[in-house]
Amino acid sequence: MKSSIAQAIQLQYQPVALLWSNEKPADAMQFLEGKWGCVMWLAVHAAKGKAAVANIKTFGCTGGGVGLGFGNQYENFPGGEEGFCHFLSSGNAGRPGGPELAEQIKPFMTKESHENFLHGERYIKSPHLVHKFLEALPMTDIPEAFVVFKPLADIDPLKEKPQTVIFFANPDQLSALVVLANYGRGNNENVIIPYAAGCQTIGIYPYLEAKSVKPRAVVGLTDLSARVYVRKQLGDSHFITFAAPFALFEEMEQNVPGSFLERHTWLSLMKEES
């Protein structure tokens, strides 16, 4: 499947199609069962041209399991949801049983993860507010066994229908995508930036939007931890994700001809970057 958008905004990396499937693509990258990994690496792998896949046993981390739609995996975090609520905020060191649990799991964690478990990532002010954050997440149980990431160019539209199309965009490209998402709508709130993990802004939030009559795009990779991990894969720090539910993607594709993407303001921006 070709993308007029990708050509018009001169993406450095391929758009990525996220699909649900009961079949695993041949030679797809997959994390080992029970091994830690960042879901964003799977998306990056596809952006570089090769398929990647995850199922309920190979989603890499609890946030990734939630983000891809494998239910509430925070229940399986060390110490359960309460342990996670302290991990994301103030840490488990001051919680009854927290230091003892941290000692038990220390052999299975990186030094950084163990330190975060004890003292918190501090991304949300308090454990109570993390509970509120979890209540607001659109937890999902997808109906198929696998979440598949494939280069959009490898999609056969007669056989496959992506749930989401993901762009890794620089600031100028992101600006163009935001304008294009609003271009044919007649209103100006067709892109959202929720606070969530990087994987959740390409997974469960676009899944939720896809249920709407007028689905919105989701800007992501504002997750600081995910940015650290993705920087190691892409070698740069300026990428942001833009995830469009497939219906919106098709709408945006149809709106490329005759739009600002053919006019001098956009073309001058592209000329300055080349």
User: Tell me: the pLDDT tens digits for 232-257?
Assistant: 888 877 999 999 999 999 999 999 99
Give the E-state strand segments of 179-216 in sequence order.
Answer: 191-192
- pLDDT of 58 higher than 70: yes
SS3 of residue 255 by DSSP: coil
Both 254 and 148 in one domain: the answer is: yes
pLDDT single digits (tens) 6-42: 999 999 999 999 999 999 999 999 999 989 999 999 9
Residue 192 resides in a domain: yes
pLDDT single digits (tens) 67-97: 999 999 999 999 999 999 999 999 999 999 9
Residue 197 resides in a domain: yes
Residue 125 resides in a domain: yes
Overall domain count for the chain: 2
Residue 69 resides in a domain: no
Distance of alpha carbon 166 from alpha carbon 46, whole angstroms = 10
| Residue 274: band (very low, low, confident or very high) from pLDDT cuts 50, 70, 90 | low
- pLDDT of 273 higher than 80: no
Residue 122 resides in a domain: yes
User: What integer pLDDT is reported at residue 268 of this predicted model?
Assistant: 95
Boundary (domain end) residue, out of 136, 155, 176: 136
Residue 51 resides in a domain: yes
Query: Average pLDDT for residues 55-60, to the nearest whole number?
Result: 97
SS3 of residue 243 by DSSP: strand
Give the C-alpha distances (Å, rounded to integers) separating 190 from 19, 131, 209: 22, 28, 10
User: What integer pLDDT is reported at residue 34 of this predicted model?
Assistant: 87
Compute and round to an integer the Cα radius of gyration of the chain: 19
Both 13 and 120 in one domain: the answer is: no
Class of residue 92 by CB neighbours under 10 A (exposed 0-12, middle 13-18, buried 19+): buried
Both 13 and 102 in one domain: the answer is: no
Residue 21 resides in a domain: yes
| Residue 4: band (very low, low, confident or very high) from pLDDT cuts 50, 70, 90 | very high
Both 103 and 128 in one domain: the answer is: yes
User: What integer pLDDT is reported at residue 259 of this predicted model?
Assistant: 98
Q: Which residue has the tokens 């992101």?
A: 174
Neighbour order of strands in the sheet with 16-21: 52-54, 146-151, 16-21, 164-169, 240-245, 217-220, 191-192
CA 36 to chain centre: 17
Both 131 and 146 in one domain: the answer is: no
Class of residue 249 by CB neighbours under 10 A (exposed 0-12, middle 13-18, buried 19+): buried
CA angle 39, 233, 56 (to 5 degrees): 15
Task: List the domain range (segments joined by +) for residue 116.
Answer: 80-136
User: Bridge-partner residues for 18, per DSSP?
Assistant: 149, 164
Distance of alpha carbon 69 from alpha carbon 138, whole angstroms = 9
Distance of alpha carbon 115 from alpha carbon 211, whole angstroms = 39
Both 253 and 191 in one domain: the answer is: yes
User: What integer pLDDT is reported at residue 45 of this predicted model?
Assistant: 97
User: What integer pLDDT is reported at residue 271 of this predicted model?
Assistant: 87
User: What integer pLDDT is reported at residue 272 of this predicted model?
Assistant: 78
pLDDT single digits (tens) 142-201: 999 999 999 999 999 999 999 999 999 999 999 999 999 999 999 999 999 999 999 999
Give yes or no for a contact between 172 and 269, defined as CB atoms under 8 angstroms apart. Answer: yes
